[in-house]
Every structure is written in structure tokens, then in C-alpha cells.
Chains A and B, each alone.
Chain A
Amino acid sequence: MYEKHIMICGATGCLSSGSNKIAEALTQELESRGIRDKYRLVMGGCPGFCEVGPIIVIFPDEVFYCRLKAKDMAELVDQHLIGGEIVERLLYKGPDVDAPARFYDTIPFYSKQLFNVLRNSGVIDPESIDEYIMRGGYRALKRALQMDSQAVCDEVKDAGLRGRGGAGFPTGVKWGFTNKAPGPKKYIVCNADEGDPGAFMDRSILEGDPHAIIEGMLIAGKACGADEGYIYCRAEYPLAIKRLRDAIKQAEEYGLIGNNILGFDFNFKINIKEGAGAFVCGEETALLASIEGKRGMPRPRPPFPAQVGVFGKPTTINNVETLANIPLIVREGGAEEFKKIGTEGSKGTKVFALAGKVRNTGLVEVPMGITVEEIIFDVGGGIQGGREFKAVQAGGPSGGCIPKDLINLPIDYDSLTKAGAIMGSGGLVVMDDRTCMVDLANYFLSFTQKESCGKCTPCREGTKRMLEILDRITEGKGKPEDLDTLDSLAHSIKDSALCGLGQTCPNPVLTTIRYFRHEYEEHINEKYCQSGICKPLFQYEIDQDNCNGCRACVRVCPVEAIKGEKKEPHEIIQDLCTRCGSCIEKCRQDCIMITRVGSEADVGN
């Protein structure tokens, strides 16, 4: 028996902020006191709050320590583990709490979250099938195996689960198509090719609870009459791939993958395919081509994969988060529980990757129907540095931005679509007044343009033409008619591109024009970028009244474009300034201003 369980976040976010070193230091401190055996250390899944990583949670006390450093470990061992007193200094502190907070119950970041898909993340050792079973794992599989395959499809359909990867198609209906397709050989494919920049929820599920995906696939296999599955995972997620391989091996050893699973007339095996870095492979027909070892290019549908899929056989393709929901729904009474959460058209929870200029970045799971405001201000803690909220981008390169005015918009499939965005995979990138919306549109389009597979003309050529226009606008060479041209190109691509990615790629441009037309007009007509992003369209100027001459900016300027004596207001030599932004980051007085090009001369004269 262990005295305490110490869960160290071992997900990529915390590993990047040094959780490996924390684990080493902690082990060493315990060993040097000869008490290593009393404690169980687990490098587990992700508690989600990446902003304050590295994180340690101590059970059964449920104390949440954050922003840890290796040198804190001695104190943690002596004071908490041995002394039994909480180390207050290492608890969560922030402007959103009055006193240092202990755990879920008191940290505002967790207050509106509901853990369904992430139920095991950070709680179990992801490398242990036993712990997954203790948490109720593989019971849904047994239940599904006792049912008729169509009954499993109907139950999932009745629960109202919609695909979490993009378009939100009802999962049970999709399964029904494959189940009814003729032929003895069928496949289940798990799409783990999470390519949206700014989205990492699938990786977190794969790393934190791999057996949930495997159980989801097995149940899908039963429901669709398939006996083989592929997990198509990005090669950029080495830890996720390792955890999956280990989990598959364990499940095989336990007789949960293989022949006559649990004594039923049901066989299933799972293969892993590593993606090789192509965004378009997130599109289902492209993904199938890639599994077959070809260039990952989409093809027209119909025939849909449910009829003609991988190797020409009927195939169901589900996203990671969709599959992670399955064991919850198919377990005894699960569908009823699932239906209670969410809105009329969107049931259950959704995991979002909250990032950008929000205070609390990380992974959050919230009920469908939560408003933008609740996510950004309650869960997210508002905007970094107390700046002004401008918009949030939902759904990555296929999605769109939601402006401040729509802050009460409920986040569900239908509301987002109406606002011009999509649920997509669940990236939410928050933007403040220093984000230029034209640049953002340009960013997304340059991404999709680069990733366009080139098969169909609207996407290959159309995105290129749109990008040329956006480039021109950000360089200060925009023409008044550009907005109409962009709009018409965008609609042609939407109507005529071959695949879902092509059809949705104009969304970021369309929504930014719809909600931030004035910014485009400012760029085009006044040659001014008020956010200070498009370099030819602004200059930095030092506020002569507020500069105290601390020389911080002078020291950091790489091109020596700032002059001025100590304790005298400094000045920027515009001809030398490259607008690299180093000075504005460094200035403690907040006195470096973004102004119109040539405005100094206007003021001076």
C-alpha cells in the first residue's frame, strides 16, 4: 500500500516545461530519504492546465501544485509528504482566486468543466490496462458484444453523438451505413491525424487514455461488422504512438483484441499507421489513400467510404474524440446519461484546446452549449495582460472567427455554423487588440494553400489567387475592389472544391471580412494596420511624455535604431527600424506606440 499517489503530468505540454526534470528530482529526494517505496509516482495523462505546468497532483489529498521547478521538490517532500502540511507557495495563485487554491473545487479554470472524455486523463496510469478496467473499462465492449450490431448503431444514434472531427455527422447513422453495406470484410479507421494548427486534444486523449480509443474501435467493429481496424496517427506524436502500441499489446494479451473476444463470435485486430505529414490526410478519402501507401489525395464522394473504403472495402472512419465517447455511451445506462448533457442538436461534451492570448491556456472539456464568454472569461480567465478581447477563432483553417459582439453565442454545431465558423476538431484561439485580422486570414490561407494537394482546380488555383490578394493588402498595395474579388473567389471555392478541406478553407477569410471589414478597409484605403502586425503599414513611436529613459529598449534593439541618453526620453530612428517588436516586448512603461507611417512628421510640423 502506498501512502500517497503522486501524479506528474507527462503530456507534451508539461514535458516541454520540464516535468521530466521534476520527476527526476522528486525521485532523488525520496530516495535520499529512503522513503521512495512509500509513494507511487506516475507520469500520467494531462490535467489540462498547460499554462501553469509542470503540474503535480497528490492523491488522496487532491492537492494541485503548479509552476514547479526541480528545486521545489525537497520542500514538497519534507513539508507535504513527510510533514503533512500543504506547501502553500506552490499552489495555484492568480487574479481569479482570493487565496491560493487547492484543486478542481477551487480553481476557476476547472469550475465549468465536465470530464467525460478526459475522465481518466491524469487520474490513471495510461500504460496500465488494469487501471483502465478498474475505471469501468471494457464493460461497454462486453455489453456491445451481447447486442445485435444494428442495436449498437441505434443506441449511439439515439444518444445523439455527432462526429467530433469536423462536420458533425451523427456517428450511429454512419455506423449503420457500414453495417448495412454488403460484404464480409469491413474496416474501422481511427483518424488520429490531428493536423489543425492550434489543436492538440486528440493527442492528449491518445496519450492519457489509449484504451478508451481501443475500446471505442472494438465497439465500432462490432456495430459495423468489421474485423480489422487502423489507427492513422501523425508521426509528430511519438508518445501517443508508443502508448497506443503498448495498449494494443496489453489488450491482445488480455484477450480483448484477437479472436473470439471474451468468448463471443467476434474477431478484431488493430494496426497503427504513422502519417507522414500532410494536412489533407485528415480528409477521409485522402486518409484512405494514404493507408494504401499512395499520395494522400481526396477523391469524389459517392461512393462513400461506408461503401468503398480502405482497400475497396466498406469502412467507417471516426475521429479520436468520437471514439473516446463510445465506451461512455454504450455502457449500461450510458446513452441516457449522455443525452442529459448538451443542447438539443449537440449532445455531450466537447474538448477544446484553448490557446492564444487568453490567460489560462490548456485543454478544457465543457458541455456543449456553453457560451463563448464562459469559456474565455470564466474558464480562460480573460485576456492576457488585461488587454481587450477581439475575437476567437474556432475550428482552425476550416473554421472562422467569432467576434466580441457574439460573446453570448452558445458553442454547439449549429450555432457555430450559423456564425460562419465550424466546431472542427476544437481549437479555440483567442485574439486581442494586437491581433490583425487581415494577417490572421492571410495566415490560415497560406497554410491551406501550402497544404492543398493540388488535385482540384478551385482549391489549387483559387487559394493561390486569394493569397496573392491578401499578401498585397498586408503589404499596403490593396485596391478597393479587392474585397469583392476575395468574396467571389471564396464562394466559388466553397461551391466547387472537391473535398471538405477545400470547401471550408475560405471560411477564415469570409468571416474576417464579415465581422472585421473595417480592418480590411483601413489596410486598403488608409494603409494602416492598427494592430501593429503588417510591417509596412505602421511604425513604432516612443511616447515622449511617458518614457523614463531606462534604456531597456536600446539594449534589446538588434539594429541600433533607438537613441537617447539615460533618463531622457528615447527616440526611434524610423529608417533603421525593422519593426521586429523586441522593444515593445521589453518596455516596462508601455510607452511604445503603434502609429501610422509618417505620423511623426505630421505631429512635428
Chain B
Amino acid sequence: MEKFIDPCCEKCTHTKDTPCKDFVECCVEGPICHDNDECAKKRKALIEKVALDERFVVS
């Protein structure tokens, strides 16, 4: 997962043609549709890479 649009695992189905209602929240707080620490870590890694400080992420 290098961008939020990349699926974290095969359970993520969001694409522009098969949109998921929870996509936006899922980027930062996900995964939402399933529970998986690995998938959550992937998102966190993306965020930590660019977050300038603790106030950077807004939900």
C-alpha cells in the first residue's frame, strides 16, 4: 500500500468503478469493513511518513 487508493488486502474493494461509501474515513481510520492489524498498520505507516506533528491528522 503506497497510496490510500491501493487496497490493503483482497477484502478492500474500493475503486472508482466500485466505490465504497466508507472510503474517505477508511483512509485514516481503517480498515472499517474488516478487522486486521496488518491492514491498520499499512495505513498508519502512510500517515506517519508525512505527518509533520501530532496535530497534522484531522478526523
Contact = CB atoms under 8 A, between A and B. Distances in A.
A1 B48 contact: yes
Given A1-B48, A255-B15, A136 B23 contact: no
B27 A261 contact: no
B39 interface: no
Given A60-B53, A134-B50, A136-B58, A142 B24 contact: yes
Contact of A62 (B15, B27, B53): B53
Given A59-B52, A262-B24, A136 B4 contact: no
Given A5-B52, A60-B53, A141 B19 contact: no
B5 A254 contact: yes
A128 interface: yes
Interface string B15-59: 111011101110110000000000000000011111111001111
Given A262-B23, A263-B20, A264-B21, A2 B59 contact: no
A141 B57 CA distance: 18
Contacts of B21: 142, 262-264
A260 interface: yes
A263 B14 CA distance: 10
Given A134-B57, A139-B24, A255 B19 contact: yes
A124 B52 CA distance: 9
Interface in A252-305: 252-255, 258, 260-264
A130 interface: yes
A261 B19 contact: yes
Interface string A136-147: 111101100000
Contacts of A128: 50
Contacts of B52: 5, 7, 59-60, 123
Contacts, number: 76
A252 B4 contact: no
A340 interface: no
B15 A141 contact: no
Interface string A434-449: 0000000000000000
A477 interface: no
A491 interface: no
A130 B58 contact: no
A219 to B, nearest CB: 13
A252 B17 CA distance: 10
A63 to B, nearest CB: 12
Contact of B50 (A130, A255, A260, A264): A130
Contacts of A135: 56-58
| Residue among B17, B27, B47, B52 facing the most chain A CB atoms (10 A cut-off) | B52
A468 interface: no
Nearest to B16: A255
| Residue among A7, A125, A260, A262 facing the most chain B CB atoms (10 A cut-off) | A262
A131 interface: yes
Contacts of B20: 262-263
A134 B43 CA distance: 11
Given A40-B50, A262-B20, A134 B15 contact: no
A254 B16 contact: yes
Contact of B28 (A62, A129, A134, A253): A134
A1 B56 contact: no
A498 B50 CA distance: 51
A134 B52 CA distance: 11
Contacts of B59: 136, 139
Contacts of B46: 130
Contact of B47 (A134, A137, A139, A142): A134
Nearest to B48: A1
Interface in A113-137: 123-125, 128-131, 133-137
A134 B53 CA distance: 12
A104 B35 CA distance: 40
Closest 10 CB pairs of A and B: A136-B58, A255-B16, A59-B52, A60-B53, A263-B19, A263-B21, A138-B24, A255-B19, A133-B27, A130-B4
Given A1-B48, A137-B24, 4 more contacts: A130-B4, A130-B50, A133-B28, A261-B19
30 contacts: A1-B48, A40-B49, A40-B50, A59-B52, A60-B52, A60-B53, A125-B50, A130-B3, A130-B4, A130-B46, A130-B50, A133-B28, A134-B27, A134-B28, A135-B57, A138-B24, A139-B25, A139-B59, A142-B25, A254-B5, A254-B23, A255-B14, A255-B15, A255-B16, A255-B17, A258-B16, A262-B20, A262-B23, A263-B19, A264-B21
